[in-house]
Amino acid sequence: MSFSLNDSILAISTPSGRSLRAIIRLSGKDVFDCLSSAFVPDDGWKVTSEKGFSSCQGRIYLESEKIRIPACIYIMKSPNSYTREDIVEIHTFGSPPLLEMLMEKLLSPRREKVCRENNEKPARSIRIAEPGEFTKRAFLNGRISLAEAESVLHIIRSQTDSELLMAVSNLKGRFTDLMNNIQEELVKLCARIEAAIDFLDQDIELISLDEIKKQLGYIKEKLCMLAGSGQKPRVSHYGVKTVLIGWPNAGKSSLFNKLLNRSRAIVTQVRGTTRDTLEADVDLEGINFRIIDTAGITYGKGELESVIEQRTYGSIDAAQIVLYVIDGCMNLSSEQIKFFDSITTRNKIIIINKNDLQKKSCYEDLSSKMKTFPVVKTSVLTGEGLDKLKKIMVSTVFGNNIDISASDVVFTMRQKDVLNRALDILEQTSDSLIEGIGHELVAIDLRKALDTIGEITGEVLTDDILDRIFSEFCIGK
């Protein structure tokens, strides 16, 4: 993504399609010139005379089409706007043809008469914004931190109350404050070590290795807690990853459809109908669950079976909750018990399906270890047990097994990776201290950790990192 902050930008910031109202957002030094080419105020109002925030009723005038449409203009003057540039928002009818004509009008070359007189090529006053460019400008102009910018994306993607609260907490600066605190501790420690280096040849010890170990351990502990090492998994903006697994024809896909309350997966009497993973979201008591239906476990020898098996295992590894579906009409095999025991996810729910067809209690076949997990008897045909299953899924989240607390922070995958890399550097430094590493090398390692953490706070950045972050945004945000 390559652009200049000297450019003015605009974009439609509301979803595409017809609507009662749409918003075109403009930011930059030329936005008022562009606005005057298409907007006529009702009362002779002048944008340039306003300060701070203001609004005005008027009409969009498209001369070539002889169109006059009511509109409301909102003005946010620099430096008190979101981007710290002059911002204009045009609120008008959400008619796609109207918006297209208005965008063309605003994007037309400016000062055409002056350019013709000077025999110059007309210059465009404004261009279409790239994805996330409004928020990117807010970051680059010092309006928000990089962590807060990424929180904007979390807010946009949030699907439940709990996800929204966590994202808002980050936007208020909670995550930034935590990272700044860790940075400050590292800077203080690094400064003391670097000062001590100057006095090593004079046998003056400003800070001992034991004190370095103690301070480093304290910083590592804070970083480890923040990274969530050893803690319960957190809900991402994609929802609680909940995976349906089991042997073929156990009724996983039927249960998948029932949880969604719609026919999403193909269901037949043929074993192995599901050949790939299917994903869909369902909201239970304000919590978004990402339900994943997987192919039945077959232990096949062919290439296709091997690929299917790898995808299933990949889904299991990423799962926060595993729904282990058993065919209640069949005897439970030792293979099925062994497979259940091999699943490392601690949040496992056993579902004995087809309860309406059972001739004997399949519960007796469960191992003593399996009986320590929640067990639900269900029938997709009659709906038996489905409400109980949903309640157990919700209680698994609220029962402190999965974190949805708004007092905690939520990370992007990029932020999580940065935290883990910084933690790895500090772990290596601790190991080196035990081996008797000198002050100089400790200082170098701490500077590396500071640079790594700077990728979160925005102090150490490359164009590639910025491009990856803001390319996930929609145009107009």
Q: What is the pLDDT of residues 108-152, one digit of tens each?
A: 755 444 455 555 555 556 888 888 889 889 888 988 888 788 878
Instruction: Report pLDDT for 202.
Output: 62
**pLDDT over 80 at 163, yes or no:** no
CB of 457 closer than 8 Å to CB of 176: yes
**pLDDT over 70 at 259, yes or no:** yes
Least confident of 122-131, 134-143, 334-343, 388-397: 122-131
**pLDDT over 60 at 407, yes or no:** no
Confidence (pTM): 0.54
Q: What is the mean pLDDT of residues 66-77?
A: 88
CATH of domain 240-401: 3.40.50.300
Joined together, the tokens standing for residue 384 give 């038996």
**pLDDT over 50 at 263, yes or no:** yes
Instruction: Report pLDDT for 344.
Output: 80
Which CATH architecture group holds 9-143? 2-Layer Sandwich (3.30)
Rounded distance, CA 105 to CA 410, Å? 42
Residue-range domain boundaries for the chain: 9-143, 151-230+410-457, 240-401
| Alpha-carbon Rg for the chain in angstroms | 29
Q: What is the pLDDT of residues 10-44, one digit of tens each?
A: 999 888 888 888 999 999 988 888 888 888 888 77
Q: What is the pLDDT of residues 214-247, one digit of tens each?
A: 888 878 877 876 766 334 445 555 578 889 998 8
Give 61's strand partners.
Answer: 68
184-189 CB contacts, 8 Å cutoff, 24+ apart: 185/215, 185/218, 185/219, 185/222, 186/219, 186/446, 186/449, 186/450, 186/453, 187/450, 189/215, 189/216, 189/219, 189/446
**Strands laid side by side in the 287-293 sheet:** 278-284, 287-293, 240-246, 321-327, 348-353, 375-377
Which CATH architecture group holds 151-230+410-457? Up-down Bundle (1.20)
**pLDDT over 90 at 382, yes or no:** no
